[in-house]
């Protein structure tokens, strides 16, 4: 039972897992949201610039089909006319094309931010595997995309029919209008169909984005064992870290013991503490603790001090304060400076005798 719970993906994805997914180009992305954003942007631009665009195209059509002067249809003339009409189209439609481009980028940035995924463009054999490709065509995701596409198509057809049904009485009346008026009416109808059908698509896009976000989070979930393994990789194996700390402490003790013979005094608590103090006038700004320890370490400090003739002075309060508050290699703090100075003065007097 415990093994099963370790294998269930119940834990939220870690930051490392999410970063790895972004590097692979795996993000919570909905294809509907950029499409709807592009369509809405184009509709808004056409709404505000429709008069200008229709006027420019009206001028173009009148000039092209007015035939005030029959052009000389040579190859050069046809090529020049082709370049002219293509350039004219891009100039007139530039606001629409620009907004479509910006909205497409903006929608993707809103969804996933700026993603640079070099791993996503690396060639992989499974992408050209026909068997896997065939399986993907009939996967649950592919079926879901098909259902979503059919639902969108149904909504668009239904909404378009509602708009056209409302105009059935007016359509016969435009037969007597000029070609330009008929063209403008068709453009107005197309704009209305686009606008009305886009509104339900906004709801579909938001629902799809929420679903893709949920599906992405579910896919990224990890088992407890995966979380533990990743934690070990990032923080290091606890056993290895413990061994490293032990080696570091051992090296620190050896350095301490090496400095004890050069100490001026060892302050002791006869039961369990020993603190070695060193002071070199003119070299050190203040006395400092060169070694300290409790239990067996304190006993070893006392042994080295006796072997090298370093005085041992019993001062229980001072030994406790130095042991608790001063790290090895640190200067004596101000609140203990007076007591240490008196102790050193006492030691110097003993040495002078």
More confident residue, 315 or 189: 315
Mean pLDDT of 41-45: 80
Q: What is the mean pLDDT of residues 140-161?
A: 77
Query: 118-122, 137-141, 235-239: lowest mean pLDDT where?
Result: 118-122
Domains of the chain: 24-125+154-218 (no CATH), 257-352 (3.40.1690.10)
pLDDT band, very low/low/confident/very high, at 319 (cuts 50, 70, 90): confident
At 56, is the secondary structure helix, strand, or coil?
Answer: helix
Q: Which H, E and C letters describe the chain, residue by residue?
A: CHHHHHHCCCECCCHHHHHHHHHCCCCCCCCHHHHHHHHHHHHHHHHHHHHHHHHHHHHHHHHHHCCCCCCCCCHHHHHHHHHHHHHHHHHHCHHHHHHHHHHHHHHHHHHHCCCCCHHHHCCCHHHCCHHHHHHHHCCHHHHHHHHHHHHHHHHHHHHHHHHHHHCCCCHHHHHHCCHHHHHHHHHHHHHHHHHHHHHHHHHHHHHHHHHHHHHHHHHHCECHHHHHHHHHHHHCCHHHHHHHHHHHHHHHHHHHHHHHHHCCEEEEECCCEEEEEECCCCCCCCCEEEEEEECHHHHHHHHHHHHCCCCEEECHHHHHHHHHHCCCCCECCHHHHHHHHHHHHHHHHHHHC
Q: Is 326 a residue whose pLDDT tops 80?
A: yes
Write out pLDDT tens, residues 53-86: 777 776 776 666 655 555 666 777 778 777 887 8
Residue 260 pLDDT: 83
More confident residue, 164 or 117: 164
Per-residue model confidence (pLDDT) at position 132:
57
Overall average pLDDT of the 135-147 stretch: 67
For residue 124, the model assigns a pLDDT of: 56
pLDDT at 239 over 70: no
For residues 314-343, average pLDDT: 86
* pLDDT for residue 235: 61
Q: What percent of the chain has pLDDT over 70?
A: 79
Q: Closest Cα to residue 308, out of 297, 300, 298?
A: 300
- Residue 1 confidence class, pLDDT cut points 50, 70, 90: very low
Position 4 scores a pLDDT of 44
């Amino acid at each position: 039972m415990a093994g099963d719970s370790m294998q269930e993906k119940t834990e939220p994805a870690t930051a490392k897992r999410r970063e790895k997914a972004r590097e692979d180009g795996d993000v919570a992305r909905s294809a509907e949201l950029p499409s709807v954003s592009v369509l809405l942007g184009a509709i808004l631009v056409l709404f505000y610039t429709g008069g200008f665009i229709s006027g420019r195209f009206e001028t173009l059509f009148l000039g092209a089909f007015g035939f005030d002067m029959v052009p000389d249809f040579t190859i050069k003339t046809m090529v020049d006319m082709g370049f002219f009409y293509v350039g004219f189209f891009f100039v007139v439609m530039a606001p629409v094309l620009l907004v479509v481009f910006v909205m497409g980028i903006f929608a993707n940035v809103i969804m996933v931010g700026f993603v640079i995924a070099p791993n996503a463009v690396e060639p992989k054999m499974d992408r050209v595997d026909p068997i896997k490709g065939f399986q993907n065509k009939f996967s649950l995701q592919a079926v879901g995309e098909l259902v979503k596409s059919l639902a969108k198509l149904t909504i668009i057809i239904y909404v378009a029919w509602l708009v056209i049904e409302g105009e059935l009485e007016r359509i016969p009346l435009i037969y007597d209008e000029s070609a330009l008026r008929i063209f403008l009416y068709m453009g107005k109808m197309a704009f209305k169909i686009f606008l009305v059908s886009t509104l339900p698509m906004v709801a579909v896009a938001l629902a799809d984005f929420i679903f893709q976000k949920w599906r992405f989070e579910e896919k990224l979930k990890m088992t407890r064992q995966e979380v533990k393994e990743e934690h070990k990789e990032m923080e290091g194996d606890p056993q290895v870290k413990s061994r490293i700390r032990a080696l570091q402490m051992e090296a620190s003790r050896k350095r301490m013991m090496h400095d004890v013979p050069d100490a001026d005094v060892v302050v002791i608590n006869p039961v369990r503490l020993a603190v070695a103090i060193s002071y070199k006038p003119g070299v050190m700004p203040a006395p400092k603790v060169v070694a300290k320890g409790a239990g067996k370490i304190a006993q070893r400090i006392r042994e080295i001090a006796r072997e090298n003739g370093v005085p041992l002075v019993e001062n229980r309060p001072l030994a406790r304060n130095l042991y608790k508050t001063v790290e090895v290699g640190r200067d004596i703090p101000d609140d203990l400076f007076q007591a240490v100075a008196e102790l050193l003065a006492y030691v110097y007097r003993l040495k002078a005798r």
